[in-house]
Structure 1
């Protein structure tokens, strides 16, 4: 008898399944490399892997990666200059940061460059906050972010051939009007600013809060107004619940490979929701869109990264987790409140302008 070797054909899987496996494996592989290489902030590679991989597309080639790394270094280095300026001339520095956040949001919403735009937002918020404490801390953070980007893209190179996109022309993105893009960019910027101001009071404690607020600003541009409060708060709560459950499972065996496999499992479930495989007809998760599941995944990675660091530093993990999730929920509630308040103000302003506009009889 002759046996024929079975060949794995990635295109035999449905597209949504390929995307789910790809995202989950890339994130878990980036986590394994981040912690295995002993990086200073090992949760950054998996976090950046989520940001750079969530939107389905082929990974950048070596030349594009080099351009991306150079752009990241330049954009993040701006933050080092803003740190001392925040201390000597806070008002001009805050105006520059406000404009930088607006531009980064505009790049994500109108330009469709969510990954580079998020890294640019880090350069205008996270790096200046760290630089206001120590230039060495800011430089180390820039190095960690650059290494995180490289690790995330290398993981994409390794995994994408196994689970590629369909060989068809990419869909043309729906254009966003200039007025709508400017309004959403302003709204996202106003969501980030309060968290950033709080971070300046204690950068070492509140840096994850600024990162969460930036991701919430991105999420706010993708959700409907009436679902904003529910989606942003529930995604934060679900991310916290997943972090607690994964941490409890990790206590069974504190090993890197065990951590990686648990992350793979959790990310696979969340990615299935993001790409439409997992759907809920009733309850708070009904109608949840891709941004909801991606936000849940980023919250999971942020909270787990903080828990691992707290454990390594001998802190009370659960107490620190309670404080961190409370801050995340506070900024999520504020984001939903700000969206509703700004939209009501915009509607009233438009109604007044329409009432004052003369009509031709």
Structure 2
């Protein structure tokens, strides 16, 4: 089997298997397991070993624990807490664009945003979210261990190219830009965490994605991936209504994962970069996960519509913020050059 096809099947199988296990064992926030399956499997490489997994879970525990520490500060000294969150968002993005620590950056961003929001509702909710994140990561990597022997990488395959690191001034600018993109949606979510929790995950993804794209490509990639993810989520939801069962959920996720993997690894031609398709898959899961939970008694369609409109609004804000900040920066650089 060609290498690109193996990678496609591996991504789809890990996504579908982690989803089936997460929903089958009724873990809290079960959509997090396939979400981390996308993040951890999209970069083609053998799965990490047990020691690396333990180290990663330790890092996750520490980074998520920062959110629990911030909660009393946000309750009693809100302005100080907001400034600490903003500083942490700057540092977390700098770890990604300036030091190449993308996974640690994402986890730290989640710890600074999602965990305090959950703790503002109730401390037990925050502990449940931390538990869901730890289980989701461990479950995704365990599924990689199961799937990888069937569709491995080539023994002599070249190592995947790492994202280029920006120089210090550019990394600092991208970190500042990302902080300004992520912070307002997160502050809005702090006002009503139970309603806007999914917005935080979307804002985190937009921040990570926005730090790697130019202002010219921002609209097409950010808005395009969000709208396409909404179409995929609605298609998956209506497909599940025809035969609502865990096995059909598994099979439909396998099918959608094959399509995403084919686009991601070049089996099927596409004009968009791999980050676009990773964002499509992740946003689709953030939309379909709460919808499945709402089906136990809530109004699924209205909740989905509200959630999707909020996602689009946050995406439009991120796009406009990138355009405005980049235009301001270009004007400032031009004025400095004129003076000199």
Q: CA deviation at 1:205?
A: 0.9
Partner of 1:9: none
* Separation (CA, whole Å) in 1 of partners of 2:337 and 2:276: 35
> Which residue, out of 295, 310, 314, partners 1:327?
310
- Counterpart Cα distance in 2 of 1:222 and 1:276: 20
Q: Secondary structure at the match of 2:130?
A: helix
How far 1:114 moved relative to its partner?
2.3
The equivalent of 2:286 in structure 1 is 302
Aligned length: 338
* Counterpart secondary structure, 2:100: coil
State whether structure 2 residue 290 is matched by structure 1 residue 290. no
Residue in 1 that maps onto 2:195: 205
Aligned to 2:331: 348
Q: Among residues 291, 294, 299, which one is paired with 1:316 in the alignment?
A: 299
Cα shift at 1:78: 1.2
Question: Aligned-pair distance for 1:65?
Answer: 0.5
Q: Is contact 2:29–2:132 with CA below 8 Å preserved after alignment?
A: yes
Task: Output the CA distance in 2 between the equivalents of 1:187 and 1:274.
Answer: 27
Give 2:42's aligned residue: 54
Aligned partners of 2:334, 2:43: CA distance in 1, in Å?
A: 37
Q: What residue in structure 1 maps to residue 3 of structure 2? A: 15
* 3-state SS in 2 of match to 1:132: helix
- Residues 140 and 253 of structure 1, relative CA distance in 2, 3 Å threshold: same
Q: Hey, what does 2:159 align to over in structure 1? A: 170
Query: Is the contact made by 1:101 and 1:124 (CA closer than 8 Å) also made in structure 2?
Result: yes
| Counterpart Cα distance in 1 of 2:153 and 2:98 | 24
CA shift, 1:172, in A, is: 5.2
The CA distance in 1 between the partners of 2:151 and 2:94, in whole Å, is 31
Matched residue, 1:10 = none
- Residue in 2 that maps onto 1:136: 124
Q: Mark the runs of 5 or more structure 2 residues left unpaired by the alignment.
A: none
What secondary structure is seen at the aligned counterpart in 1 of 2:267? coil
**Given that residues 83 and 130 in structure 1 are in contact (C-alpha distance below 8 angstroms), is that contact kept between their aligned partners in structure 2?**
no
- Higher RCO by CA contacts (8 Å cutoff, separation 6 or greater): 2
Shift of 1:238: 0.5
- For residue 161 of structure 1, report the CA deviation from its aligned partner: 2.0
RMSD: 1.3
8 Å CA contact 1:31–1:43 kept in 2: the answer is yes
Matched residues in 2 for 1:144 and 1:310: separation? 18
Q: What's the CA shift for 1:73?
A: 0.8
Partners of 1:18 and 1:112 lie apart in 2 by 26
Q: TM-score, normalised by structure 1?
A: 0.90
